[in-house]
Amino acid sequence: MRYVIMDASFYKLNIFIRPSTQTFTDAAIARQTSNPSVRVITNGQYCNEYAYIRPGPIQWQGEIIVSHTVRRGVPSSYPNFYHYGQFDGLTDMSYDMARGNPSAVTRDRGYNAALGRLLPLINGGVLGTPVQLGSAWRDPPSVGKICLGIHRPSNTIFVFLEEDGHGTTTIPRLQSLLNGMGVDDAALADGSDSTALVVDRGIEVTPGSLYKNPSIPCGPEFSLIELSFNPTSSQFQLNATGTTNPAFLPPFFDGNPFYDSLIVRGFTGTVSILTTGYEFRISSFGGLPPPSLIGGEAADLLGVPLPLVLIAPVGNLTTPTNFVSSSSSPWVEANLRHVTSNSADKGRLEGVMLIRTSSGNVSLYVTLQIS
């Protein structure tokens, strides 16, 4: 059994297409070597034909979507099967699974990446039926299997595989397990000895060598991204209620009413997911807009050295997440969450930041628009 669980705020789906001159696993390793942000590659829907021993050009069955472009295999359409895909946005809201060809979905500009011709293990919390799952329902537990899933309560996506000949779970049992874990959606891709998984240039599940590895045409690839922000639409605003530092209590700066709201724009920074947790790196707080009489970096006004690094344990960024500074001079913490409004929306981080100084606290409302 192998599985990979990924944070949907930081992993993007693309479709990996095997070059005709390489086996699937060799091509996947080469792809991850040339682009280390591609962390996970696995097989997808069924092949239309096979190449024996030597790799060759092979068509997939049904549709795939690559960068909003529909590419059809042979046969070209499977409207009674299911698909799995991602729109242009981020978080679990950007991922979906539904019945039909992926090209039939047109809301929010349609899918950026998707695979069709899949079978439904669970869709919207409803278990797929024996009729929908066909012969896979009756397969013995040893048969290889792969599923692509979405767990919305934890803002995660996942792949689950059992290598052919080493499986321990029947499809009905797998459905029960996934349902018990609260999985919202899970689609079954091509199993048996087609199951393949390459993670960080390491082969975790090897497909059959005679004709499967030379033939598997395509599959999902998941890339790790970093969240960066649009400085013109990101801002910090003084929260006077939570501020105790007298220098920031209105009216300040000689009673100039302009500063009573203290809105700072021009923020630059990133949020990354590391093995140790989330990292929030601030390179600039920006500056005060005209008619400001204060020039330079707002961090100087706030007494914060740059770059500023805040960290948080890995969890669910769509729920309030507490970041704290790695330095205590001054102590900075931020309670933020990733908010999206639709499946095409990358969203924003919003919440409150608190800067503790020897003269008291400065509290800021934070709105950071993801670019």
Q: Each residue of 179-189: pLDDT tens digit? A: 999 999 999 99
Q: What is the four-CA torsion angle of 322, 328, 332, 336, rounded to 10 degrees?
A: -20
Are both 146 and 285 inside the same structural domain? Answer: no
Answer with the one of 208, 224, 240 that is the final residue of a domain. Answer: 224
Are both 101 and 199 inside the same structural domain? Answer: yes
Give the chain's domain count: 2
Q: Among candidates 359, 331, 328, which has minimal Cα distance to 244?
A: 359
Distance CA 282, CA 246 (A): 25
Q: Taking the CB of residue 249, how many other CB atoms lie within 10 A of it? A: 14
Is 237:69 a contact under the CB 8 Å cutoff?
A: no
Say if pTM beats, i.e. exceeds, 0.75.
yes
Are both 58 and 195 inside the same structural domain? Answer: yes
The radius of gyration computed from the CA coordinates of the chain, to the nearest angstrom, equals 24
Which range (157-171, 269-283, 287-301) has the least confidence?
Answer: 287-301
pLDDT bucket at 216, cuts 50 / 70 / 90: very high
Are both 260 and 349 inside the same structural domain? Answer: yes
Are both 166 and 37 inside the same structural domain? Answer: yes
Are both 84 and 204 inside the same structural domain? Answer: yes
Answer with the one of 194, 224, 254 that is the final residue of a domain. Answer: 224
What letter represents residue 198's amino acid? V
Are both 262 and 182 inside the same structural domain? Answer: no
pLDDT at 276 over 50: yes
Is 217:70 a contact under the CB 8 Å cutoff?
A: no
Distance CA 118, CA 2 (A): 20
Are both 155 and 220 inside the same structural domain? Answer: yes
Are both 286 and 162 inside the same structural domain? Answer: no
For the chain, how far is it from start to end, CA to CA, in angstroms? 37
Classify residue 91 as left (phi > 0), alpha (psi -120 to 50) or beta. Answer: left
Answer with the one of 189, 224, 259 that is the final residue of a domain. Answer: 224
Are both 216 and 358 inside the same structural domain? Answer: no
Q: Which domain holds residue 352?
A: 227-369
Q: Among candidates 234, 307, 309, which has minimal Cα distance to 277?
A: 309
pLDDT bucket at 240, cuts 50 / 70 / 90: confident
DSSP 326: S
Are both 219 and 243 inside the same structural domain? Answer: no
Distances, alpha carbon 250 to alpha carbons 98, 255, 363, in Å = 53, 8, 13
Is 363:353 a contact under the CB 8 Å cutoff?
A: yes
Q: Among candidates 146, 232, 142, 155, which has minimal Cα distance to 188?
A: 146
Are both 254 and 335 inside the same structural domain? Answer: yes
